A and B are shown apart, each in its own frame.
Chain A
Amino acid sequence: MIELAALVKSYDAFRALGPLDLSIGDERVIGIIGPSGSGKTTLLRLLAGLETSTSGSVFIDGDRLAGPRSDIGVVFQEPRLMPWLTVRKNVEFGIWDVLQRDRGPAVDAAIERVGLTAFADALPRQLSGGMAQRVGIARALVGGPRLLLLDEPFAALDPLTRVAMQEHLLAIVGTTVPTTIVITHDIDEALVLSDRVIVLKGPPARIARAIDVDLPRPRTRTSPEFGALKALLLDELIVRTSSSAPVLA
């Protein structure tokens, strides 16, 4: 159970987020969508323990979050690999505080899950954008996280790679990660991945709407149900001025 209780983040006089209340139970994947500047990334950074809240708290299974934790994995918008480390060493970076002799099998397994076993000894500069991002995912997974956070993980990839990576992510995360939270500004991506989509608006960021996505997997983007949910989200994300044409918020 992940709970956000009256979570607020302000930078001096500017309130970027909150107050925000949210409770995530047994949904596997939560999609958080919102226009740019709505405070999505602030929320993710709070959940990762990279920022401290101004007031309010995040609880992970009852424990109050106080900083980065070994059971929270983070994938950034860019792969953020250490350019001087091989793929294997980059993944191992995620569990540097585990006993050396216990690291090998976990690292091998994580690399295998993202399908990069053949590239284990390659350097980041030798990888494509999609491959590098898979290494980033393996690094976040290697510690066996309770919560996996992804901040627009595929935004920098070309559309075809992005679709492939969305399928890939679901397979990788599989049944081993209890909760995955994906931040995105891509409605299709949110609907393909999530059990629940939360629409964030701001600043200050607040929950404008939460939609349960009860579609069977694998999801087809062309089904009428998919289309209906998409229309619903599009409607929510577009601000209609009183007079004429819709304007993107």
Chain B
Amino acid sequence: MGVRTLNALTVPQAEPFLGADAGAQIRGSAGARAAWALPIIVPVALLAAWEFVARLHLIPAYLFPPPSAVLAELRGLALSGKLTYHLWRSFERVASGFILGASAATVMGALTGYSQLWRRILDPTLQSLRSIPAIAWVPIFILWLGIAEQSKIALIALGVFFPVYLNLMSGIASVDRKLIEVGRVYRMHGVRLVRAVLLPASLPSYVTGLRTGFALAWMFVVAAELMGASQGIGYLLLEGENNGQPALILAAMLIFALAGKATDLVLVAIARRALRWEDTVGNR
């Protein structure tokens, strides 16, 4: 009797389980097919609404051009070569500022992360400089370095410096003491220990700092170019403002968005290779 009730219980139970599983799989694959569409529903709807509103002249076109006009503007910029020219000028500033700021931050972050002494010496000063908003440096940079490239690059470098510095320092300071001890067993110290153990172990946090830094570099290049420039995407923003060309302004904004995303993707691709060893969900 006992055996029979057990059978009677297990058999019907097994069937719904299989059925439920198969159902979930079918729903899963249908879901997967539709999933790529989910993030673009809102932007497509917004673009359609925007085009619609603009075409009906609900808002005057000289303030609010339709997306098609912005795309046409973008096409014009690309065909005339202005896009590449100005984008390249902005990118040069971003890249030089980033390299300068990130290099300084790497040296100082490594130093203060590794050595208590250097942290006591440098970190308080750097932390108090950090409380000055980066943009507030602009007038003094212009006074010292002139209106040309140097002051712009200095501003970008300053913006990049802090996230990279802070992330690297805290990354190094929180490296597992047990790994450092392995380094000590094999008679490593100073630069050797930093290179062989501390930097690789703090790489994930360093990469976070670099990505934040690059995003800030794009932010500050806009600020720098708005302060006065004759080339760069920020200059296109100014030109659009001065000549009353909203399509040009929106096109420049779009270029900034795409350029920022592109450089971040490159950084992530490089980082993914370097962080292949991380035992995290993303690597499973």
Q: Could you list which residues of chain A lie within 8 angstroms of chain B, going by C-beta atoms? A: 48, 50, 67-70, 74, 76, 78, 80, 82-85, 93-94, 96-97, 123-125
Q: Say whether A125 contacts B277, CB under 8 Å.
A: yes
Q: How far is the CB of B188 from chain A (nearest CB, A)?
A: 7
A134 vs B178: C-alpha distance in the bound complex, in angstroms? 18
Assuming the contacts A82-B179, A83-B277, A125-B279, asked whether A68 and B203 have C-beta atoms less than 8 A apart, the reply is no
Tell me whether B70 is interfacial, beta carbon within 8 Å: no
Alpha-carbon distance A69/B185, docked complex (angstroms): 8
Proximity string of chain B (47-78) to chain A, C-beta cutoff 8 Å, 1 when within and 0 when not: 00000000000000000000000000000000
Question: Is B260 part of the binding interface, using a Cβ–Cβ cutoff of 8 Å?
Answer: no
Closest Cβ neighbor of B181 among chain A residues:
A50
Q: Does B258 contact A (CB under 8 A)?
A: no
**B184 x A50 contact (CB < 8 A):** yes
Q: Is the pair B196, A80 in contact by a Cβ cutoff of 8 Å? A: no
Quick check: is B241 within 8 A (CB to CB) of the other chain?
Answer: no
| 0 or 1 for each of B150-194: is its CB under 8 Å from A? (1 = yes) | 000000000000000000000000000011011011111000100
Asked whether A82 and B181 contact (CB < 8 A) given A68-B187, A93-B186, A124-B277, the answer is no
Which residues of B come within 8 Å of A, CB atoms? Answer: 178-179, 181-182, 184-188, 192, 196-197, 200-201, 203, 276-279, 283
How many angstroms between the C-alpha atoms of A68 and B180 in the bound complex? Answer: 13
The interface residues of chain B lying within 8 Å CB-to-CB of A69 are 187
A16–B277 Cα distance when bound, in Å, is 39
A90 CB to nearest chain B CB (Å): 10
Cα distance, A76 to B197, chains bound together (Å) = 17
Once A50-B181, A93-B186, A96-B186 are accepted as A-B contacts, the answer to whether A84 and B203 lie under 8 Å apart by CB is yes
Known contacts A80-B182, A124-B277; 15 additional CB pairs below 8 A are: A48-B185, A50-B181, A68-B186, A68-B187, A69-B187, A74-B185, A78-B178, A80-B178, A82-B182, A82-B197, A83-B279, A85-B200, A85-B277, A96-B186, A125-B283
Cross-chain contact A84 with B200 (CB below 8 angstroms): yes
Complex A-B: 22 CB contacts under 8 Å: A50-B185, A67-B187, A68-B184, A68-B185, A68-B187, A70-B187, A78-B178, A80-B178, A82-B179, A82-B200, A83-B201, A84-B200, A84-B201, A84-B203, A84-B277, A93-B182, A93-B196, A94-B186, A96-B188, A96-B192, A96-B196, A125-B278
